[in-house]
Structure 1
Amino acid sequence: MVKQKELNSYSRNEIMHELLLGVNKKGKPAHGLMGDIAKKYGIHWKTVSRIWATVKNQQKEGATLDATRKKFGRITNTIIPFDESKFQALEKSKKTSPKAVANVMGVSQSTAWRWKKKKHIYAFKFSDMYNIIHIDEKLFYLTRTQQTYYLTPGESEPHREIQSKRFIPKTMFMCAVAKPMNYSGGELIFDEKIGIFPFTTQVLAKRRSKNKNRGKPETKPNSIHNKDTHKGQC
């Protein structure tokens, strides 16, 4: 039977008659009767208990037994049953959120959430992410204009070669990581680090200088960063 948030007058009187028919010798409903009625009508057993309390008060006062609801207006909050066949026939691309489910099923969002709560439907996600690699790019300057190092007496001082401190070259690096993998025993087999790859090229020096001879290989940062260079790096 369809569950209801609030019983109409007909159902309340039906419950009253079932309670009266199930009264034992002590004048009380038989053990377990309220629970069975609550399960039958899809309501809480306390609702059945309140109806029984109303009947008992009317019996004491000698009034006509009547469990009619006291509220005025029409009851329209009947819970819509879940149509599994209709739901399965829908495209999965149209069932990506409770709002989308409500739209394609022609119900309210609260009804869709209620279906989820009652486990008629559940949310599925590709959560393992073992087949996904995350990449990111960042620009780094070759050096800083001013950099301090702390050394011990007699330690060799660092050497730096650069054409101009006003135009320090910068290089883009691409970092690639993925989800780490472990054996069932907890042993690590992949530590999530794939690598860091610079956007550079190897060229031969065209001129001789005090820092290098002509024809010596040197690393130059790529000056062009577009879709083709990124795709080639991948």
Structure 2
Amino acid sequence: MDHMDITHTKKNTTVEQRHAIYEALLQASFSGELQRGAISDVASQFSVSNRTVSRIWHQAKFQINHGLPVVLSSNMAKVVGRKRVQVDFNQVLDIPLRRRSNIRSLANLLNVSKSTMHRRIKEGALRPHTNAIKPTLTHENKRARLEFCLSKISRSLSSNIPTFHDMFNVIHIDEKWFYMSKPSRRYYLVPGEDEPLRTCQSKKFITKVMFLAAVARPRFDASGNEVFSGKIGIYPFTRLEPAKRSSKNRVAGTLETKPILSVTKEVTRSWLIEKVLPDIRAKWPRSHVGPIFIQQDNAKPHIDVNDNEFLEAASQDGFDIRLNFQPSNSPDLNVLDLGFFRAIQSLQEQEALGTIDELVHAVQTAFEKMQSQQLNNVFLTLQTCMREIIKVQGGNNYQIPHIGKNRLEREGNLPLRIGCDENLINEALLHLAS
């Protein structure tokens, strides 16, 4: 005799069905006790098992006996299991910031586990924030910053709305150290892959080279084609020295590239006159009319704006190139510090380096790879930062604003200049007057 396999499928009841079953049981009860055969009758009526009906009845009786409202929730996924740990995040505001720097410390203070705290952060209950130290500003610093930003505002002939200058006549220069490697680097490895071994004799003496970079705002024609990349150049502070002794890599007397670790005014003047100025004259758009300003910070190695040797070299071939200083303690007013250096460094760090020549080549290659549109975007970011500086009356307690430059560029609406509200300008002028 053949036997047919019968698969019994458990029917999951909804909350509404469970309450309907309970109402039917109440009608079949007397003084809180069910009549004989009531469970089988109700189970047949709702096409569920006797055990399901019995469980619903006992669940309701338990709640009534303990003075609880009858809640017949189903034991489905997300309902059964461990209850969610409740965390009062209002307590976080009373915890000093210095004790909120890692998950372990915060979890201990809130009396929850690290895993619970980690899950809440992933859910968005707490927002991770990386905080960078900003320069301390004196009253004079704030005033100079405010005056500097206001001096960059003008009104166009076609519109009376105040906007920042297009900055096409400004070249930003600055120095930055680039390292052969970083003490700590992040990699993404597949399971089972060997972890890389990186060694050096001392982390305090990782080979580094200082570079001087010079950039201007790129220019595009009416069709969006690049006319001028804005990248004047990036110049390593290095010199060639003959090797004093022979080694397995070279014989004595072979010229080697050595970094200049102490950059003085004389070195800066030499690099400006011999490297930066010739590149400006070679690359600058011939259609430009008027003076060209080289903006630098107040670092000690930078030469004075009235340096005679520089002025003589800067006036050659019909050019009018002048130096000026940005306000003190204001790296946010230089496009190189604002984002361009960081972009170059991210590209340079992707290269495997072993010598100073390879480091120099990697940095210069990364500089050339940078898209001119990215450089243009940093100039727009600079203008938005100037607007924020005016809002906070010369301070640096602001967040770099985001205007969606990539989206605006795709839509063909990327502005050439950022506007500034008239009322904001008037408030800043009143603040300076007071």
Normalised by the length of structure 2, the TM-score is 0.21
Rg (Cα) greater in structure: 1
Normalised by the length of structure 1, the TM-score is 0.37
Higher helix share: 2
